[in-house]
Structure 1
Amino acid sequence: MSLQDRLDDLKAQGEPTMPDGVVDAFHRGTAELIASGQARHALKAGDAAPAFALADSDGNDVSSRDLLARGPLVLTFYRGVWCPYCNLDLQALEDEAARIRGLGATLAAISPQTQPNSRRSRRENHLSFPILSDTGSRVAQSFGLRFELPDYLRGTYKSLGVDLAHINGEPSWTLPMPARYVITPDSAIAYAEVNPDYTRRPDPTELLPVLERLATAATPR
């Protein structure tokens, strides 16, 4: 089953169980983010990826420079451990992790959540790659992904026990649009997928032809 099939099943099973008004608020928020056109202005293939340095879930400093020194970087931006769609996304990426590494690439995920929440995310999703804490979504902003939740969505999230100010350890109520990038060692973006609809995610198998092409180009002739 593809990742999107799993996400569609989650949506079909989960939305009917939500309290009155919650689904309408989620759909309104997604529609407004789509209508804003922000996703069209996020970094895309052919752009240069900004450098960053963030702490992983154990407090170790991780820089894009060090990651790219190993080869191409597969970078995923996601909302947090509280988001079931994000968890399925991470699990699907882990399913392809061995093949991705076999093509010479490194994986990392970025989320605005605190380090304890990232540790929980790694543990519950059985991840072999690091999750980096992007406090205030500053790195997400440099990729054009950061957006602020409107007041009505803040209230909706709180009604479900999701207090982003607590989960993220700061009060901005900002999140990244879910995104996946492949970045080459010289910081060029070779692949980009950004979607303002958090229920839609690219299948990780889409990364493999990109990484195969990069591996072939890097092989001495």
Structure 2
Amino acid sequence: MTLQAKLDAFKADFVAGKPPYNAPAPVHVIMKRATDELIASGQAQRTLKVGDKAPVFTLNDPEGNPVSSAELLAKGPLVISFYRGVWCPYCNMELQALEEALPQYRELGANLVAISPQVQANSRKSVRQNHLTFPILSDVKSQVAEAFGLRFKLPDYLIDLYKGFGNDLPTFNDDASWVLPMPGRFVIGQDGLITYAEVNPDYTLRPEPTDLLPALRG
């Protein structure tokens, strides 16, 4: 089953309220409104694109060790996946799919990192929960996401909904600003230029992990 098929099946169960999900219909209306507004804002069209120079960054892994994009690029191409956090089931399914594709990336000489705004303790949870063997990096206050054009602020009505769900982003991320990255996946060549870019303001839609293989081969 493809990654998107798994995401679609999860979304169908969630919207239908199948156990263990029991969100009432108004919840889905609110979440769809927020997604539609983010799409309409056009922000996804203003993110970094193929041919753009990728920002250079150093972020900490779950154990507090610095991971440098420049050092990784000295070894080969770099695959970067921006995700929302361990609280997001769609993100967890994507991380698992990326782990399955990791051997193919490594065969082509590439490294993979995933970046989220969550604190290191939650990154450790991401690693444990999804059985990951690639680095999960903490992007404090979503600064690297902002450099790629991905950071956005949640509307007030969605913040209220998240609070009701117990999704306390200020605690998850140690950041009171209620910002998240749009999910995005990039391939950076050793010259620092972006050779693959996929961003979708609808967090329920994710590219297949194999979609970027041509960029790595190229």
2:137 to 132, 135, 139: 132
**Secondary structure in structure 2 of the residue aligned to 1:91:** helix
Number of the residue aligned with 1:74: 79
Number of the residue aligned with 1:62: 67
Is 1:8 aligned to residue 13 of structure 2?
Answer: no
CA displacement 1:144-198 (0-9 Å, x = unmatched): 0000001100010111110100110110100000000000111100000000000
Number of the residue aligned with 2:204: 199
List structure 1 segments (4+ residues) > 4 angstroms apart after TM superposition: none
Name the CA distance, whole Å, in 1 between partners of 2:178 and 2:26. 20
Instruction: Report sequence identity in percent.
Output: 60
2:35 to 30, 37, 54: 30
Number of the residue aligned with 1:216: none
Q: What CA RMSD, in Å, does the superposition of the two structures yield over aligned residues?
A: 0.7
TM-score between both structures, scaled by the size of structure 1: 0.95
Displacement of 1:67: 1.2
Displacement of 1:34: 0.1
Note the residue ranges of structure 2 that are not aligned, 5 or more in a row.
18-22
Number of the residue aligned with 1:172: 177
Displacement of 1:10: 0.5
Displacement of 1:20: 4.0
Note the residue ranges of structure 1 that are not aligned, 5 or more in a row.
214-221
Displacement of 1:21: 1.8
Number of residue-to-residue matches in the alignment: 213
2:89 to 80, 84, 93: 84
Name the CA distance, whole Å, in 2 between partners of 1:49 and 1:212. 19
